[in-house]
Structure 1
Amino acid sequence: MELGLFGGFMASALSSAELLTERFVCVVDADHPTPGDELSLDRYCRMRHLVVDVADGIQPDVDVPLQALGRQRIRVVTVPYHSVVPLILAGTDLIATIPASLATLWPSTHRLRLINAPREFRRLPYRMIWHPAYDDDRRHRWLRSAVRAAVRDSRATA
């Protein structure tokens, strides 16, 4: 019996249930000239981006909505891991789009600033995913309810 936990963009061939919603923030060097605490889509698309390669060189939950709007961002650097983002951003004019729960930890150890991502893709859902053959399996339904309860409990104590 297989169950996956997955953040973001998902293939439609699988069954899924949303567990929680994360939000995206943009991370820049503390001295970055971008004013304010929120970016417009136009300003965002004109900036130089550090992109975390989540799937095939892109971040689907950012790049797919941009593409649907006929927009794209200027990719300057692509990295394979979120953990290297704060090290690369320091002292540059680059911007990275990162889940808030991860990015909020960085300003205490790196000279970085957080800015709200554009509204067009600020939401990042995390889901359980499984093969549709298990949709009505009673053991699998129990497993999914146990995962939902665990996530709910962990959010309540966070």
Structure 2
Amino acid sequence: MGADFFSMLLMPTLAARIAGAAPRVSLRFLDSARGDVSRLLQEDEIDVALERPLEVSDWVSSTPLFHSPFAIIAAEDNAAIRQAGTAEGEPLPIELFCELPHILRSIDGSMSGATDEALRKIGRTRRVSLTLPHFQAVALAVANGNHLAAVPRQFAVWAARTLPLVIFEPPLPIAVPEIRMYWHARHDDESPHRWVRDQILEAIASLGFVESGATENAGA
């Protein structure tokens, strides 16, 4: 289970790896909105969850996957940015960043996130005018309007390959989340389960999300 970030960027690679090694294995990927991770792991509705740091039960094991810094995406023809003269890859001016409307990926309808917390620390605010439950929907809406969005850098690079988007640096430090893989501790030493976890780690490393391959740390 995880965000559409993983269904788009990870699952094609992971599915190909597993099909080559174990062609009779079937994979099912569920959206993060499915529900509480601890409950779903306890009831074996999911085998693993790929998520940002979560408050989970003591019996949930986890291992780090990669860090996911934020990048700012905007439409190529965003008139306000063009008028400001900010080049792609540069930080957006803080005034412009706060002035333009924002889109937030939110699975529960919340209108604030890590960017808003970072802005509060410097006495600033932004206007979130739209929330959407999927990163791909955020990217499509940004590409067709005058909004900004703070999204994981790995996703921003992927989306800009197929959509008329440009990528900028945030104008202020935003906390960088560590994406982790979670599973029930009863499966720590279960060979088939561990094999699938290893396949996920290797697939993520092959995508270049991390400088070096992650290693499992059960119970971390």
**How does the TM-score come out when normalised to structure 2?**
0.54
Q: CA RMSD in A?
A: 3.4
> What is the rounded CA distance, in whole Å, between the counterparts of 1:11 and 1:69 in structure 2?
27
> What is the rounded CA distance, in whole Å, between the counterparts of 1:9 and 1:72 in structure 2?
24
> What is the rounded CA distance, in whole Å, between the counterparts of 2:189 and 2:171 in structure 1?
36
Corresponding residue of 1:26: 72
The percent identity for this pair of structures is 20
Task: Give the SS at the match of 2:173.
Answer: helix
Q: What are the Cα deviations for residues 119-145 of structure 1, in whole angstroms up to 9, with x where unaligned?
A: 5225232112356xx3xx5x4256786
Task: Give the SS at the match of 2:177.
Answer: strand
Partner residue of 2:173 out of 120, 124, 132: 120
Task: Give the SS at the match of 2:77.
Answer: coil
> What is the rounded CA distance, in whole Å, between the counterparts of 2:158 and 2:177 in structure 1?
18
Change in Cα spacing, 1:9 to 1:23, as seen in structure 2 (3 Å) is same
Question: Would the aligned equivalents of 1:52 and 1:59 in 2 still touch at CA under 8 Å?
Answer: no
Partner residue of 1:154 out of 203, 209, 216: 203
Shift of 1:116: 2.2
- Equivalent residues, number: 153
The worse-fitting range, judged by mean Cα deviation, of 110-119 and 12-21 is 12-21
> What is the rounded CA distance, in whole Å, between the counterparts of 2:168 and 2:55 in structure 1?
29
Q: Which amino acid aligns with 2:55?
A: A
2:108 pairs with 1:39: no
2:55 pairs with 1:11: yes
2:188 pairs with 1:140: yes
Change in Cα spacing, 1:156 to 1:11, as seen in structure 2 (3 Å) is closer
Q: Which amino acid aligns with 1:121?
A: I
Shift of 1:52: 1.4
Query: Greater relative contact order: 1 or 2 (C-alpha under 8 angstroms, separation 6 or more)?
Result: 1
Partner residue of 1:101 out of 128, 134, 154: 154
Unaligned ranges ≥5, structure 2: 1-39, 42-46, 208-220
Q: Which amino acid aligns with 2:188?
A: H
> What is the rounded CA distance, in whole Å, between the counterparts of 1:94 and 1:77 in structure 2?
9
